[in-house]
Every structure is written in structure tokens, then in C-alpha cells.
Amino acid sequence: MALPEQFAHSTAPSASTDGLELAGRRILLGVTGGVAAYKAAELTRQLIKAGATVRVAMTEAATRFVAPATFQALSGQSVFVDAWDARVPNLMPHIELSREADVVLVAPATADFLAKVVQGRADDLLSTLVLARDCPLLVAPAMNKQMWDNPATQRNVAQLAADDISMLGPDEGVQACGETGFGRMLEPEVLVEEVIAFFTPKVLAGKQVLLTAGPTFEAIDPVRGITNLSSGRMGYALARAARQAGAAVTLVSGPTGLPCPVGVARIDVTSALEMHGAVLSRAAASDVFIAVAAVADYRPAAPETRKIKKTAAGGEAMTLALTRNPDILSDVAALPAPPYCVGFAAESHDLAQYAEAKRVNKKLPLVVGNLIGDGFGGDSNKVILFDASGAHPLATTSKHGIARDIVARIAAALAG
């Protein structure tokens, strides 16, 4: 018998489902009795914002930290605590609650709860539900650092991994008790990223992906330099999409104000020479190299060590001698055993001509082309993919959507 209103459409306010990465996903959120239970309220809100439908099951201890009414108001769904809840017609909420869920996420998951899962104990609604589930289980540990480091907990963590249960975190930092160490629950926005990644097909599993992103900055003197309008958003979106697709991702980034995507290793550089060194030292060990950064073609030949004063510049005009920067993409593509190289061509005009010429001249399997006015600095983009079979326009969408399409094209090429 189906549970009435089981994962019914949420009555909580939500945005349009257009582009929401968890649209249509049904998540059963388990909340256990830890101080981090307060973060589960924000997690509920953010999961719904990403398009998911969320239903909450709590332990009795969890209700001492956050009232069920909070989660009901946020999710627009009934909240369950009692294994004998009369709202379930057959008195089997431990069966009914998980049957239509795509995943069970327990956040926070206390040390006691992890032990229950390992031992197969079922002494309350949430532990019984987890034992009876027929969908994947994700757990986000939250506990004192001593509890996390305890050999018993570490044995349980190892067993959970052996049982194919995904462990999200924990993080390191200051804890509610005042101590510092591992045991903090991941922040809600990080957990949402992990849930999105969980549902993403792992088409790049086992692959090493190296990317560049953002502008470079070529110093003229200690306070001035040559740079460009690249925001870095396209490169960061690609790093995020590649990681969600299962790759180990290293992002070599010029100066941006963007946060590093979850699970991505970022190397911060400033100049084209720094970026060249960081890339060439890692390229040979990579399966894919995506050159998204807007790298300066030239740099000042002799940057000044002191700020240039107007009186020293020679009147109304100033002459600046430039020297050419190395071509990072060409150098990687010319390696004896190069990774699968993807170039980007941002042009002001004649896009098809210049992008195809770049692909042929640098011997690249794929070039992503766009007009500067379509992508620089914004959240959306309009691109054309150029490969040996011709030009392939992609629909105008968010940079995250474009990134997913590019990653899918790369994965198909590698598989083929």
C-alpha cells in the first residue's frame, strides 16, 4: 500500500525547475541527534532550491535539537519520528518511506548511528528504515574529534565503505565543544554538491583531468599589469562538471574571485609563465587537458620593480616593450604522448574560420568556440564545438549546462 502524499509535490516555495540540477529527485533526509542537526534545516532548504523533493525522518534525539515543525515548514512534507506512526495505513513507515526515494541521506550521522548501521540494528524508525531501504545510502558524519578518531568509529567507517555506503566528510575545523579537528559535518552547500555529483553518471571515472581557467596578469610594475575580462566561470564550471563525472580534477587558475569547486584541486597562479610551468609539470600524467584560460599572448619584457611615475614616463606617451608568452596548449599538444587536448577560441569575429584554424594548426581533437559578447563575464554562454567531423553548435544555456555537454562530448571521444 502506498503512503498517502508519499513524496508529494512540495508546497514550500521554489524557483522554476529550469536548469535545477536535482529536479525530479526524491530525497529522504535522516536527521540524528547531534548539534549539527541545525545545519540539516538549511540543507533541506538548499536541496529543495536545487529542485529536489525532500521528506524528513528524525530520531527522537534529533527532536531535542530541532523541532519536526521546522522541517515540515521547510519541506512542505510530513515529518516522521515514530516507527508506529498512525498516518501510515499499514503501520510500516520503515518500508513505505524509502520505497519511492532515490536516495537516503543521513545528515548529521552521529557515531552511534554509524555503529547501528554497521551492526544492522533497528531500534527506532530511522535505523529500521535504513536497514529496510532499497535505495542508496549517503551518510554525513558529525561528532567530536575524539569520537571520530576512536578506533571503533574508524572500524565502522571502513565497514560502511566495504558495504558500499557513501561517506560524505567529515570536515576539519572548530567544533561545538570548542575543540578543533576532524568531525565537523560538511556545510549544507557542500553536501548539496555531493548529492548532485552522486546522481551524475561517472563517464570520466578513473580519468585525470587538467584544466586552466581565468585570466592571467602580466605585471608592468608592482601595481599595474596586462590582463583581460575573463571571469573564469566557464573553466570553473568545466572543472566542476568533470569532477561530478568521476574524474580527478586539477584546476590551474589565474586570478578570479570564484570559490574552488567541491572536490577539485586548485593551483593558483598569476602570470602566463607561472601557468605554463604548473601545466607542463602535470600534463604528461593527465588523460585530458582543457585549456579554458584566457592567457595573455604577450608580457612586458622588463617589468619595473617600482611604480612607474607619470613624470618618468616621458611626457604624454609611454612606450612599453612586450615579449611573447609561451603557448601552453601548443606545448601540451606537442608532447610525445599528449593528453586529449581541448582548446577554447574566444573571438570578436569570424569565429568559424579562426576556431577551425586553431584546431588544425595545433593538432587538437576538439576546439570550443564562442564570440566574446556571448560568454565573457556572464553566467550563460553560446558555443560551437569544432572537431574533425565539422561544427556542432550547442544550445545557449548556463555555463554549467554547457560544461556538462562538453564533458559528455569528451567522454564519448575517449570511449570511442
228 CB neighbour count, 10 Å cutoff:
16
User: Residue 141: in which H helix or E strand, if any?
Assistant: strand 137-141
Query: Which position has the grid cell 588544425?
Result: 360
403 CB neighbour count, 10 Å cutoff:
26
Pull the grid cell for residue 352: 568559424
Question: Among candidates 296, 287, 210, which has minimal Cα distance to 254?
Answer: 296
Pull the grid cell for residue 240: 566542476
Pull the grid cell for residue 165: 555506503
Q: What is the dihedral of CA 248, 254, 259, 261, to 10 degrees?
A: -20
Residue positions forming the annotated binding site for CTP: 297, 307, 326-329, 344, 358, 362
Q: Specify which residues 104 forms β-bridges with.
A: 28, 137
Cα(366)–Cα(289) distance, rounded to whole angstroms?
A: 11
Cα(57)–Cα(253) distance, rounded to whole angstroms?
A: 42
Residue positions forming the annotated binding site: 297, 307, 326-329, 344, 358, 362
73 CB neighbour count, 10 Å cutoff:
14
- Rounded to a whole number of angstroms, the CA Rg of the chain reads 26
Q: State the catalytic residues.
A: 177
Query: Which residues, including other chains, have CB under 8 Å from residue 21's CB and lie 6 or more apart?
Result: 50, 51, 196, 400
Cα(296)–Cα(22) distance, rounded to whole angstroms?
A: 38
Query: Which residues, including other chains, have CB under 8 Å from residue 344's CB and lie 6 or more apart?
Result: 234, 290, 291, 292, 367, 368, 369, 370
Pull the grid cell for residue 293: 584560460
Query: Which residues, including other chains, have CB under 8 Å from residue 307's CB and lie 6 or more apart?
Result: 221, 222, 223, 224
